[in-house]
Structure 1
């Protein structure tokens, strides 16, 4: 009798042999995206990746994503990568589990209601106008790091829309978050084999960054406690109120710190990355830029956008959707199985590491025609009909879908329209633009671009 004759027998996940482990680890450290892409091409939609003592169960089909992220989400905790990020982020909304996560989500959710977020369109438009003014001053001059500009912009929007605070005073915040992400990915790739007390430059940089973020959060909380807002409906006010109810004051302060650091990272990094990729791709596809420029002029004229304009910016919306297909802000969704499960006919043992990769899922040739081609028209409602819902998950899916996705899309739409109406950005000739898969999928090393008038 063979294994396949046994009741409930399931096939073993295919994948690289154990002898390939060291080579696979080296490749993962150098180029994680190419590894994920190549193994799906060679082994299919379900792959086992042996990484030292760990094995990743990599599933790459919309049905797999639906099962893990939505249908049986209760069986899956946050996994590799996010576990390592907990050292910096603590138990914030991104990394927490169970009742802690539910309580945090309940506290934060009201800030992200559609009515409240839509009411922030004017604030976003003002921040976008400030960005355009800064870039206009650099016309026909030295290249500008657009990634850095987008980081500054999204931090400004986050401060005004979610915190009712000015984050411009904290110039180190972007550098600190870069160090945090760098350390989290380092620990992930080394499987935390190196003790955290080892005084490597990377470790020391991380400790300074974590201390800097702690100081920023403490200052924001102290200033708000001393000067409460009239509405009290922003994240900072709600967290202060929620932590006051904590029996353990120290635990309350820790909860606020973890949630604020998580919000500061997730609230700006994903949108900044999306906008950076947007302007790079528009430069590579001038015919698409022309369409967006014409749409922005027609819809907006010479005034700032309002919320009512967003629904008329259809071409802009499709471009952003296509940008996030090729470069999803959340490129990897790691999970840890609590109990034994079955995904796509394959056994997943209790305690197994499971990953869903939107980057590869969004390029699956069975669900996307010419998947490597930038084609915003694929998101025209007529062409999108019939596509599996879980073939496109740029913000995740299921109960833990990104709470700020509505704000992110609103912000990206308004900013893109404001910029392309007046300016044309061009990547510096010869500059090697590559994705860097950290906690988000950003442009590696920044994005130097020159600025010209749109006319």
Structure 2
């Protein structure tokens, strides 16, 4: 932690932070290892840190009360910040980045799709998609490595297409690569403070343009297919078409909202499942207990919505996975007006960050915070943590609308695969976290498949 300097004395209402001469080291970490940057800052300076990197000052707040203030109590004073602001080049004013009445309209359009009654009717679809994945993996048993992260992406897109869009996203094999191009560009613009013109013919910029064109093509194709094939009008794609058709820039708004749904609807679930199988490989005792629960509850049948309360340990495992590797590792905001958080002054226009990754490892609220211990989330475990110490789905009005669907999908997949198969990491391959728009595994997750 030497790169961040020494702990300064607290004085006035300005949060402590690294001295000016640490800026080059901070910038290097911003580019290469954003999680270490945040973790080191919180460990050295405490729950409120001000980091100056070039012309930008980032205010990191790492206390449950701070998270509650920014995300819920004073939410009107904050709009989406760094990272997502850069992603606007492709997702525009989609649900992830929009504000005010635009966001409220989008939320009203999407919310009914995630009511429990409707989710309960999707259980067979999710189980079917998970069953297809099990069979694909079973066919690779005893063979060479499989990129499990890629398989999880394909699964999540398949579920998303059938449950929300009434569409077969398997026909769009380029979605995953296109989103990689978008995320790489967003992170590049974040670390370069948007100082590199997009018109320069850099390989990254050219890839981004191709990715953006491909995502626009996919969105247009999904709309054209829906308009040619009438449905009951209750799927998300139909609702998005209806909610934007009156807007003067309807085509652009519809594209942005579809692309946002495609990104948010698969990226976080695929990330969580990838990390889950990595951790199960490293903790065989947890894997065996999870398999025993799946066999006991399900036997040899597919899971149903009614099984969710009985797959208790499976849910505990997933909650602990999201504690260690929250798919949304940072919630960034910009302060619209001056504010005070935890006794520290936040000026108008400041970049504010709440990081679930660091908050979920706060030693004041988590015993042995770096250990994988699903028992933390047992139903009878002491409830001695503040509500906002654990926020894998965000918090406040912008709490993830798809959290229940994502959890049902993850529980089903984890139970069905663990019941049938044994996934083993490839020796010498490390699972390195990559903090992009979501917390994914850098370079994928190669694993070999065996029978359970």
Q: Which residue number in structure 2 is paired with residue 5 of structure 1?
A: none
* Inter-partner Cα distance in structure 1 for 2:13 and 2:79: 24
Pick from 140, 147, 152 the counterpart of residue 138 of structure 1: 140
Q: How does 1:304-315 map to 2 (within 5 A)?
A: 304-315=302-313
- TM-score w.r.t. the length of structure 1 is 0.96
* Inter-partner Cα distance in structure 1 for 2:204 and 2:219: 23
Q: Which residue number in structure 1 is paired with residue 109 of structure 2?
A: 107
**Pairwise CA distance, 1:115:** 1.4
Residues 254-281 of structure 1, C-alpha deviation per residue, up to 9 Å, x if partnerless? 1110000000011000000000000000
Q: Which residue number in structure 1 is paired with residue 449 of structure 2?
A: 451
Q: Which residue number in structure 2 is paired with residue 71 of structure 1?
A: 73
* Inter-partner Cα distance in structure 2 for 1:385 and 1:13: 30
* Inter-partner Cα distance in structure 2 for 1:189 and 1:315: 40
Residues 20-74 of structure 1, C-alpha deviation per residue, up to 9 Å, x if partnerless? 1122101211111011101111100000011111100100000000000001001
Q: Which residue number in structure 2 is paired with residue 205 of structure 1?
A: 207
Q: Which residue number in structure 1 is paired with residue 4 of structure 2?
A: none
* Inter-partner Cα distance in structure 1 for 2:33 and 2:126: 35
Pick from 253, 256, 281 the counterpart of residue 254 of structure 2: 256
**Pairwise CA distance, 1:284:** 0.2
2:369 aligns to what SS in structure 1?
Answer: coil
**Pairwise CA distance, 1:111:** 1.1
Q: Which residue number in structure 1 is paired with residue 6 of structure 2?
A: none
Instruction: Tell whether 2:230 aligns with 1:232.
Output: no
* Inter-partner Cα distance in structure 1 for 2:238 and 2:351: 37
* Inter-partner Cα distance in structure 2 for 1:73 and 1:381: 31
**Pairwise CA distance, 1:363:** 0.1
Residues 346-383 of structure 1, C-alpha deviation per residue, up to 9 Å, x if partnerless? 00111111000000000000000000000000001332
* Inter-partner Cα distance in structure 2 for 1:23 and 1:317: 39
Q: 4+ residue runs of structure 1 moved beyond 3 angstroms?
A: none
* Inter-partner Cα distance in structure 2 for 1:253 and 1:110: 23
Q: Which residue number in structure 1 is paired with residue 411 of structure 2?
A: 413
1:371 aligns to what SS in structure 2?
Answer: coil
Instruction: Tell whether 2:353 aligns with 1:355.
Output: yes
Q: Which residue number in structure 2 is paired with residue 4 of structure 1?
A: none
Q: Which residue number in structure 2 is paired with residue 299 of structure 1?
A: 297
Residues 81-119 of structure 1, C-alpha deviation per residue, up to 9 Å, x if partnerless? 110010111110001111111111111111111211221
The answer to whether the Cα contact below 8 Å between 1:10 and 1:345 also exists between their aligned partners in 2 is: no
* Inter-partner Cα distance in structure 2 for 1:69 and 1:243: 28
Residues 190-213 of structure 1, C-alpha deviation per residue, up to 9 Å, x if partnerless? 111101111100000000000000
What 5-or-longer segments of structure 1 have no aligned partner?
1-8
Instruction: Tell whether 2:246 aligns with 1:245.
Output: yes
Pick from 119, 122, 131 the counterpart of residue 120 of structure 1: 122
Instruction: Tell whether 2:334 aligns with 1:341.
Output: no
Pick from 41, 44, 47 the counterpart of residue 45 of structure 1: 47
What 5-or-longer segments of structure 2 have no aligned partner?
1-10
**Pairwise CA distance, 1:10:** 4.2
Pick from 54, 57, 61 the counterpart of residue 55 of structure 1: 57
Q: How does 1:254-333 map to 2 (within 5 A)?
A: 254-333=252-331
* Inter-partner Cα distance in structure 2 for 1:348 and 1:17: 18
* Inter-partner Cα distance in structure 1 for 2:230 and 2:325: 39
* Inter-partner Cα distance in structure 1 for 2:116 and 2:94: 22
Residues 105-136 of structure 1, C-alpha deviation per residue, up to 9 Å, x if partnerless? 11111111121122101100000000000000
1:11 aligns to what SS in structure 2?
Answer: coil
Q: Which residue number in structure 2 is paired with residue 398 of structure 1?
A: 396
Pick from 204, 211, 215 the counterpart of residue 217 of structure 2: 215
2:310 aligns to what SS in structure 1?
Answer: coil
**Pairwise CA distance, 1:384:** 4.3
Pick from 158, 164, 167 the counterpart of residue 166 of structure 2: 164
Instruction: Tell whether 2:176 aligns with 1:174.
Output: yes
- TM-score w.r.t. the length of structure 2 is 0.97
* Inter-partner Cα distance in structure 1 for 2:242 and 2:192: 40
CA RMSD in angstroms comes to: 0.9
Using the TM superposition, name which of 378-387 and 191-200 deviates more: 378-387
The answer to whether the Cα contact below 8 Å between 1:228 and 1:237 also exists between their aligned partners in 2 is: no
* Inter-partner Cα distance in structure 2 for 1:113 and 1:191: 40
* Inter-partner Cα distance in structure 1 for 2:91 and 2:244: 17
Q: Which residue number in structure 2 is paired with residue 152 of structure 1?
A: 154
* Inter-partner Cα distance in structure 2 for 1:202 and 1:403: 32
* Inter-partner Cα distance in structure 1 for 2:407 and 2:161: 17
2:57 aligns to what SS in structure 1?
Answer: strand
